[in-house]
Chain A
Amino acid sequence: MNAFVSGQSRLALIVDGNSQYFVRHGGGGVHTPMNPLMMGSFVDSPDVRQFESVTIDQVVDELSLAVEQDTALQFLLALMDHVEESDLRLKLVDRLDELSRRPAVGRYLSNRLYAFPLPESAIPEMKTLVAELGLAHPLGSEILSVLLRQSQVAVVHGAWEELAATRFQNDADRYRFFSAAVLAGLTRAIVTGEGQPIAADCIPARCSGELVDAWIQTAFGAQLAANSGGRVAPRASAPKKAKIPAWLKVAKARGPIRAETVKATIAVKSSAAERKQLRGGL
């Protein structure tokens, strides 16, 4: 049987010969026939993934993982947007900590973080989150890495935009390829230069190898041009010696996350001076 799984909608659509039905997360394996209301919820989710020749148990497992990945991603996005209520923020960080320790969830978040440059408004929030999680936490160190590589993320994404504009007939193909590349960790691999296993079947076959090569070449070309001042305004003066910002010092000092640690961080943040310090520039 084949299946389409969406963590966001908490549903898997099973296609088994002539039978098609939904399996709901947490629904005790209940199979639900097609229904317009349910279908709408399913197809509106941007994270639908296809699995071929799978058993029902595998589908249930994949759905469970997809739900954890979506939950972690949405909590991370919420934290990026700034959560005013400290108790809620604490709970979100706590749960994100738990979820992201599962390697498949952490990798999913990491791959997503390298897909697009972070919006300006999210950067202070992400710095705070790094301070809260600590650098010993896999997600904390990964977010730090993403923060430090924002210019490269922008270059790689810009290279993609430039290339995609000439290579795809329509937005759907373009979207499909880019989504697959992100999920497979390709954007992360190009930005960091770190080899990461790329599931070949995640990349649509008809435009895989050559396009990926072209993307990498375009990105490197853009990076070289940027480094030589061709793409960005040259620095007015020689770069100063990097100074470790306060938020990073806090993060470095933190061990593995604990509820008390987060509470303490929140408490510290309530002090205006410290909060300002935590949100200091890179």
Chain B
Amino acid sequence: MRCLNPQCPAEIHDSLRVCATCGRDNGCPNVRKAQEPAEVAALRNRLEEAELRADARGAGQNLARFRDEVADKSVAVLAMPASNALPLLNEDGQAFSNFYRLVEAGVRIPKPNWYDRFRGIADQLLFPHYAENIFFAALSLDRQGSPYYGTVSLSLAPFAISDRATVFESNSLLFCRDRNLGLQSDVPPGYRAAWEDRGMIAASKLEPKLVPDTQPGEFSGILLEQKPTDDADFVEVHVYDRITRHSLSGVVIRRTGDPDTELFHALVRNACSQKGLACEEVA
């Protein structure tokens, strides 16, 4: 695409955010991709089809409610063990680095084989040449992530991500693997959306789970499965670039019976209190 600076003649590569010629911010590559006309049109088609199906079985109103609720109230969450959350909450300077940045820096762990086989393919399909800048989270209505990943859920503040986050149908790795996507077949359009359109993705995907008597209280469990297993389904959030403690809007702690974990939880509560971060506990 052409640089957004009208005076700049440069072409911006799909993977770049900042124009190398004039320094103009051209928006995050994942957001630009999700806003491409083909992606938007395909998602609208999916949604229209979902609405027709829902209407046919009398669940149309519920689908519209669900879509609106996700669009208005859903947040990106990171669920993790309390032992992981505590250092992040305590250290102002610690950024939530992602796997690629660390591999690139060679700091933590070497690139394992699965990178090439699964993760690498999924990411190169979804984020060609900029996977190292993508950070993963899940979309949630009740600010809780899947319990499988840990007892502490950190919510990302909308102000911190709304211009750089996109949403994707599901676990991107499984999405690509289950559809045998790769060099010969790209990710089909209509399965990703800009942050403000996250309600469309959720409604298109989860329409079959909505029935005429679905109650609004059930929406959060439909959007993000709360089962404590590794196959819990969710809408994946892709955030471009780094996230720090200041990007957080709140913390939810899920109580456990484990004494060490509860001590960590007490420290997490303390850290939240010191940093002025909302912290809620659930059973």
Q: Does A195 touch B at the CB level, under 8 Å?
A: no
Interface string of A145-189 (1 = CB under 8 A from B): 000000000000000000000000011110110000000000000
A40 touches B78 (CB 8 A): yes
A170 to B106: give the CA distance in the assembly, Å: 10
Range, interface on chain B? 35 or more
Chain A residues numbered 25-73 whose CB sits less than 8 Å from any CB in chain B:
26, 30, 32-41, 43-46, 48, 50, 67, 70-71
Q: Does A4 touch B at the CB level, under 8 Å?
A: yes
A175 touches B107 (CB 8 A): yes
A50 touches B109 (CB 8 A): yes
Q: Quick one: closest A residue to B234, CB to CB?
A: A37
Partner of A40, one of B117, B135, B172: B135
Which residues of chain B are near A67, meaning CB under 8 Å? 83
Contacts A8-B83, A44-B84 given; does A91 touch B99 at CB 8 Å: no
Which residues of chain B are near A88, meaning CB under 8 Å? 263, 266-267, 270
Which residues of chain B are near A74, meaning CB under 8 Å? 83, 86-87, 264, 267
Which residues of chain A are near B87, meaning CB under 8 Å? 8, 46, 74
Contacts A20-B112, A36-B171, A43-B97 given; does A172 touch B107 at CB 8 Å: yes
B96 touches A44 (CB 8 A): yes
A171 to B105: give the CA distance in the assembly, Å: 8
Q: Which of B78, B81, B98, B106 has the most CB of A within 10 A?
A: B81
Which residues of chain A are near B184, meaning CB under 8 Å? none
Which residues of chain A are near B90, meaning CB under 8 Å? 81
Chain B residues numbered 80-122 whose CB sits less than 8 Å from any CB in chain A:
80-81, 83-84, 86-88, 90, 96-99, 102, 105-109, 112-114, 117-119
A176 touches B107 (CB 8 A): yes
A279 to B204: give the CA distance in the assembly, Å: 62
Q: Does A83 touch B at the CB level, under 8 Å?
A: yes
Q: Which of B150, B172, B263 has the most CB of A within 10 A?
A: B263
Taking the nearest CB of chain A, how far is it from the CB of B148, in angstroms? 8
Which residues of chain B are near A250, meaning CB under 8 Å? none
Which listed segment binds B: A9-17, A208-216, A235-243?
Answer: A9-17
Range, interface on chain A? 35 or more
Q: Does A92 touch B at the CB level, under 8 Å?
A: yes
Contacts A13-B112, A44-B97 given; does A37 touch B84 at CB 8 Å: no
Which residues of chain B are near A220, meaning CB under 8 Å? none
A9 touches B171 (CB 8 A): no
Q: Quick one: closest B residue to A99, CB to CB?
A: B260
Partner of A8, one of B84, B97, B109, B230: B84
A91 touches B173 (CB 8 A): no
Contacts A35-B230, A36-B173, A88-B266 given; does A43 touch B108 at CB 8 Å: yes
A3 to B33: give the CA distance in the assembly, Å: 37
Partner of B83, one of A20, A48, A71: A71
Contacts A10-B83, A74-B83, A172-B105 given; does A43 touch B98 at CB 8 Å: yes
Partner of B106, one of A39, A48, A71, A176: A176
Contacts A20-B114, A74-B264, A92-B263 given; does A43 touch B109 at CB 8 Å: yes
Q: Does A85 touch B at the CB level, under 8 Å?
A: yes
Which residues of chain B are near A40, meaning CB under 8 Å? 78, 96, 98-99, 135-136
Q: Does B207 touch A at the CB level, under 8 Å?
A: no
A34 touches B173 (CB 8 A): yes
Taking the nearest CB of chain A, how far is it from the CB of B57, in angstroms? 33
Taking the nearest CB of chain A, how far is it from the CB of B272, in angstroms? 14
Partner of A20, one of B97, B106, B113, B260: B113
Q: Does B236 touch A at the CB level, under 8 Å?
A: yes
Q: Does A18 touch B at the CB level, under 8 Å?
A: yes
Chain A residues numbered 201-242 whose CB sits less than 8 Å from any CB in chain B:
none
Q: Does A122 touch B at the CB level, under 8 Å?
A: no
Which residues of chain A are near B114, meaning CB under 8 Å? 15, 20, 34
Taking the nearest CB of chain A, how far is it from the CB of B94, in angstroms? 8
**Could you give 26 example pairs across A and B, Cβ below 8 Å?**
A4-B109, A8-B84, A9-B80, A9-B84, A10-B83, A13-B112, A15-B112, A15-B113, A37-B79, A37-B146, A37-B171, A39-B99, A40-B96, A41-B78, A45-B108, A46-B108, A48-B108, A67-B83, A71-B83, A71-B260, A78-B86, A78-B267, A88-B270, A95-B260, A171-B107, A175-B107
Could you tell me which A residues sit within 8 Å of B by CB distance? Answer: 4, 7-10, 13, 15, 18, 20, 26, 30, 32-41, 43-46, 48, 50, 67, 70-71, 74-75, 78, 81, 83-85, 88, 91-92, 95, 170-173, 175-176
Extra contacts besides A35-B173, A41-B84, A88-B266 (12): CB < 8 Å: A7-B83, A9-B80, A9-B81, A18-B117, A32-B230, A37-B78, A41-B81, A43-B108, A48-B109, A75-B263, A78-B86, A88-B267
Could you tell me which B residues sit within 8 Å of A by CB distance? Answer: 78-81, 83-84, 86-88, 90, 96-99, 102, 105-109, 112-114, 117-119, 135-138, 145-146, 149-150, 171-173, 230, 236, 258-260, 263-264, 266-267, 270
